């Protein structure tokens, strides 16, 4: 569809070739499409398409394997970090491995896998889409659903006395020693999208040093029951205060020195 | 003249591009695309500054933007 | 050490055989009675440039196999009944996405937490597909440490050949016993894996490891393709017929460790003058019907002996039907039928045949 470039103009924006021609299946205004594009653009700009292996989740982005023009594996629900571990541990170190996961996949059923992959310092990039709801199954409560937020399984609003508070994944992972990048961005505005892309780029660039994690606050207009343009406002007003947009971890920025503790107790040491 | 190329068959009329265009040059059209949406269209293209925001926020990756080089 | 005979514990021999079959990547979680396999791998694999990784759970381990197998390497895990049960979801994904991998199940007493004593209670779980959906996988059931070594090489070849996971089942006795073994001198077979997700070279379209087919007709076509493959696996039937050439009156049916105990019983029964032989499935799936069939007519009665309460016997009864009586003797919960118990069962059966 894109018309040939006239000699007297420059490209401000073109669709990246690391995305396939498939039309996206997402609902109108869903920010999954933006996240896909940013990842694909980073892969193109870093010229690593031939060395990248993606891992897709179960959830709304279950079909993401159709959209990225890279070698890709479709994982079981929540298990993408384990699948990515298997790929990372057996392929040459110059490969780039990323997972793409939603909040139900990563913060609920896959909590064990993400925590342990992060704790092992797996050299992978995890892109975590947090839209505070289960989109694919039709708008049920997620571990990241806000207090009082109505969903089809919290019809009177999330009752924190019964179901607890939303889980803040970045903050939780930031207690671990190994991760080298933990950051939260937002896809609610052009500025946020540009910043999100920088974070994704940074994550891929740091990936061979260790575990990198980028959470992206996202909208689910259909699940939330509002228009896409209202959804981004809702995100800014309601999600950002609870999920602050921060870089929690960067290289050389450990929160404390406790990881330097090495016990001197010798056990099972036959020497 | 700057160009904004909209892939009308990808458009789902979410209006994100409409909401970010500072010049308010994008609007929903009357036509129907293959998916059954009314795709957006650009009017007054000569007013477009090729800022690229519409393409940046398009979840479908359906907008391309080209900026004309200055004559001379 | 090729060709040389070494005294090895079953679990360690299984691990060594896997390494020699070209498997340099192991993901697993500790569980008795098979933990020597991961322990052995944790020593042997790193110096080979391979991977030993202790997963956070069996669920994670099987999904690591999915990632690694999908990336084209030979990969395995080992576990025991409750741990293997946790792998059922991932196992189904391996089948659906056609990812080769090898899973060793050193079975223990169940159900639930059961105990750590040797058992064969997972026979039906393993042989009926072991996962959701229309699926199957080859199940190998060695009965000696040497045979365990032999089937490990075979397991990796079959997994690669059919692009399907392969299960090796044993029990705690096989895992713990020490026997002399020798390893094959042959180099492992190398399979071309153009489908592997190793990074999309510019010269080829992307590779996708996937079991999702949202369109019902497409999924049916995929499942039918898989089914054709499962039917092709029928040629892999393997069984041992032991002391059956003289058409014994009674044929004992048993697999794995149980078959070894049955052999001891048969020797003693033959010394007493009774006419007894053994039919021993080596592939628990595909069920080795072709080896059983010629035994049906000449045999007056079958006796299936299990360390479970009537699982293998279902397959025997399904094939023998009403043509011959098939009786059953089993113990469960980690109790192993003794030679004496088998002898007494055969003597009872012999007496009833004589009276008939």
Domain residue ranges of chain B, discontinuous segments joined by +: 3-66
Give the model's confidence band at A241: pLDDT under 50 very low, under 70 low, under 90 confident, else very high. very high
CB within 8 Å: B55 and A24: no
CA–CA separation, A38 and A193 (whole Å): 8
Retrieve residue C311's tokens: 């699982």
Q: Measuring CA to CA, how many Å separate C46 from each of A89, A152, B47, C31, C199?
A: 12, 50, 64, 21, 24
- Give A45-96 pLDDT, tens digit per residue: 999 999 999 999 999 999 999 999 999 999 999 999 999 999 999 999 999 9
Distance of CA A243 to the CA centre of its chain: 14
CA–CA separation, A109 and A58 (whole Å): 10
A168: nearest Cα among A106, A122, A224, A113: A106
CB within 8 Å: C208 and A89: no
Contact C141, C281 (CB under 8 A): yes
pLDDT recorded at residue C272? 97
CA–CA separation, C28 and C84 (whole Å): 10
Angle (CA) A103-A80-C215 rounded to 5° is 85
Domain covering B3-66: architecture = 2-Layer Sandwich (3.30)
Residue B72 has pLDDT above 50, yes or no: no
Residues 6+ apart with CB under 8 A from A96: A43, A46, A48, A51, A52, A53, A125, A204, A207
CB within 8 Å: A19 and B61: yes
Nearest chain C alpha carbon to A53: C199
Chain A closest CA to C59's CA: distance in Å?
8
- Give C109-140 pLDDT, tens digit per residue: 999 999 999 999 999 999 999 999 999 999 99
In A, which residues are within 8 Å of B71 by CB distance?
Answer: 8
Give the model's confidence band at C99: pLDDT under 50 very low, under 70 low, under 90 confident, else very high. very high
Q: Which of A11, A26, A33 sits opposite B66 (nearest CB)?
A: A11
Query: Given CB atoms, is B39 within the 8 Å cutoff of chain A?
Result: no
- Give B14-62 pLDDT, tens digit per residue: 999 999 999 999 999 999 999 999 999 999 999 999 999 999 999 999 9
Other CB atoms closer than 10 Å to residue A131's CB: what's the count? 29
- Give C225-266 pLDDT, tens digit per residue: 999 999 999 999 999 999 999 999 999 999 999 999 999 999
Tell me the pLDDT of chain C averaged across its residues: 97
Query: Given CB atoms, is A111 within the 8 Å cutoff of chain C?
Result: no
- Give A174-204 pLDDT, tens digit per residue: 999 999 999 999 999 999 999 999 999 999 9
Q: Which of A58, A90, A94 would you mutate first to test chain C, the one with the most C CBs within 10 A?
A: A90
C9: nearest Cα among C148, C201, C107, C187: C148
pLDDT above 90 covers a percentage of chain A that reads 89
Give the model's confidence band at A252: pLDDT under 50 very low, under 70 low, under 90 confident, else very high. confident
- Whether C6-235 shares its CATH topology with C238-355 is answered yes
Please state the φ and ψ torsions of residue C252, each to the nearest 5 degrees: -85, 135
pLDDT recorded at residue A1? 47
Domain covering C238-355: architecture = 3-Layer(aba) Sandwich (3.40)
- A32-260 has which CATH code? 3.40.50.970
Query: Given CB atoms, is A116 within the 8 Å cutoff of chain C?
Result: yes
Other CB atoms closer than 10 Å to residue A198's CB: what's the count? 14
Please state the φ and ψ torsions of residue C328, each to the nearest 5 degrees: -135, 140
Residue B71 has pLDDT above 70, yes or no: no
Listed by start position, the domains of chain C span 6-235, 238-355
Other CB atoms closer than 10 Å to residue A226's CB: what's the count? 16
Give mean pLDDT, residues C170-188.
94
Q: Which of B50, B57, B60 sits opposite A193 (nearest CB)?
A: B57
Q: Which of C59, C68, C211 sits opposite A86 (nearest CB)?
A: C68
Q: Where are the beta strands (DSSP E) in chain A?
A: 9-13, 52-56, 71-74, 96-102, 125-130, 181-186, 212-217, 247-249
Give mean pLDDT, residues C287-311.
98
A63: nearest Cα among A34, A98, A23, A31: A23
- Give C54-72 pLDDT, tens digit per residue: 999 999 999 999 999 999 9
Retrieve residue C151's tokens: 């089937």
Q: Which of C53, C198, C208 sits opposite A65 (nearest CB)?
A: C208
Give mean pLDDT, residues A201-228.
98
Q: Where are the beta strands (DSSP E) in chain C?
A: 6-9, 25-28, 51-54, 75-79, 102-107, 138-140, 166-171, 178-181, 208-209, 239-242, 250-253, 276-281, 283-285, 301-306, 326-330
Residue C322 has pLDDT above 60, yes or no: yes
Give mean pLDDT, residues A204-228.
97
- Give A161-172 pLDDT, tens digit per residue: 999 999 999 999
Taking each helix axis from N to C end, the angle separating A111-120 and A80-90, rounded to the nearest 10 degrees, works out to 30
Query: Given CB atoms, is B32 within the 8 Å cutoff of chain A?
Result: no
pLDDT recorded at residue C125? 98
pLDDT recorded at residue C308? 97
pLDDT recorded at residue A260? 66
When the candidates are 3.40.50.300, 3.30.420.40, 1.10.3720.10, 3.40.50.970, the CATH number that belongs to C6-235 is 3.40.50.970
């Amino acid at each position: 569809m894109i018309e040939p470039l006239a000699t007297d103009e420059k490209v401000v924006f073109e669709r990246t070739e690391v995305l396939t021609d498939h039309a996206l299946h997402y609902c109108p205004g869903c920010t999954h499409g933006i996240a896909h594009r940013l990842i694909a653009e980073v892969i193109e700009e870093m010229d690593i398409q031939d060395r990248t292996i993606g891992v897709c989740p179960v959830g709304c982005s279950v079909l993401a394997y159709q959209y990225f023009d890279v070698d890709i594996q479709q994982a079981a629900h929540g298990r993408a970090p384990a699948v990515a571990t298997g790929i990372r541990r057996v392929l040459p170190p110059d490969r780039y491995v990323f997972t793409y996961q939603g909040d139900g996949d990563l913060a609920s059923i896959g909590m064990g896998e993400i925590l342990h992959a992060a704790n092992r310092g797996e050299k992978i990039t995890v892109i975590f889409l947090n839209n505070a709801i289960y989109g694919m199954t039709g708008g049920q409560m997620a571990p990241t659903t806000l207090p009082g937020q109505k969903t089809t399984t919290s019809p009177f609003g999330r009752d924190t006395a019964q179901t607890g508070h939303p889980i803040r994944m970045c903050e939780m992972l930031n207690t671990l020693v190994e991760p080298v990048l933990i950051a939260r961005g937002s896809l609610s505005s052009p500025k946020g999208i540009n910043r999100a892309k920088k974070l994704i780029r940074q994550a891929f660039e740091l990936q061979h040093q260790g575990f990198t994690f980028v959470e992206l606050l996202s909208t689910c207009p259909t699940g939330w029951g509002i228009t896409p343009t209202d959804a981004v406002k809702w995100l800014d007003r309601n999600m950002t205060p609870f999920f602050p947009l921060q870089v929690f971890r960067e290289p050389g920025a450990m929160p404390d020195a406790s990881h330097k503790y090495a016990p001197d107790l010798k056990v099972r040491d036959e020497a | 003249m700057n160009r904004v190329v909209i892939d009308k068959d990808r458009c789902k009329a979410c209006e994100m591009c409409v909401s970010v265009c500072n010049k308010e040059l994008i609007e929903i059209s009357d036509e129907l695309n293959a998916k059954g949406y009314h795709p957006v269209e650009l009017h007054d293209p000569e007013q477009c500054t090729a800022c690229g925001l519409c393409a940046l926020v398009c979840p479908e990756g359906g907008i391309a933007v080209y900026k004309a080089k200055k004559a001379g | 050490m090729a060709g040389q005979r070494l005294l090895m514990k079953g679990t360690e021999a299984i691990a060594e055989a896997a390494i020699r079959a070209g498997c340099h990547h192991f993901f697993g979680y500790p569980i008795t009675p098979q933990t020597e396999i991961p322990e052995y791998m944790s020593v042997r694999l790193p110096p080979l440039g391979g991977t030993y990784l202790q997963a956070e759970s069996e669920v994670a381990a099987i999904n690591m196999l999915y990632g690694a197998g999908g990336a084209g390497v030979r990969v395995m895990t080992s576990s025991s009944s409750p741990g293997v049960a946790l792998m059922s979801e991932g196992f189904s994904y391996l089948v659906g996405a056609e990812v080769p991998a090898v899973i060793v199940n050193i079975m223990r007493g169940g159900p639930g937490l059961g105990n750590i004593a040797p058992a064969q209670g997972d026979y039906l779980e393993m042989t009926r597909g072991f996962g959701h959906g229309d699926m199957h996988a080859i199940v190998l059931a060695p009965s000696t440490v040497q045979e365990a070594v032999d089937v490990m090489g075979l397991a990796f070849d079959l997994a690669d050949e059919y692009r399907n996971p392969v299960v090796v089942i044993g029990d705690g006795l096989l895992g713990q016993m020490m026997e002399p073994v020798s390893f094959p001198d042959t180099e492992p077979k190398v399979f071309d894996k153009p489908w592997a997700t190793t990074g999309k070279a510019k010269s080829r379209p992307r590779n996708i490891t996937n079991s999702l087919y949202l369109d019902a007709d497409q999924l049916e076509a995929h499942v039918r393709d898989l089914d054709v493959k499962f039917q092709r696996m029928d040629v892999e039937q393997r069984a041992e017929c032991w002391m059956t050439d003289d058409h014994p009156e009674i044929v004992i049916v048993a697999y794995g460790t149980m078959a070894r105990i049955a052999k001891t019983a048969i020797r003693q029964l033959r010394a007493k003058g009774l006419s007894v032989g053994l039919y021993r499935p080596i592939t628990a799936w595909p069920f080795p019907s072709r080896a059983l069939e010629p035994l049906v007519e000449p045999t007056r009665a079958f006796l299936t002996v299990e360390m479970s309460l009537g699982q293998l016997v279902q397959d025997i009864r399904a094939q023998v039907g009403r043509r011959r009586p098939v009786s059953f003797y089993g113990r469960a919960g980690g109790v192993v039928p003794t030679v004496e118990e088998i002898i007494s069962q055969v003597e009872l059966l012999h007496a009833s045949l004589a009276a008939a």
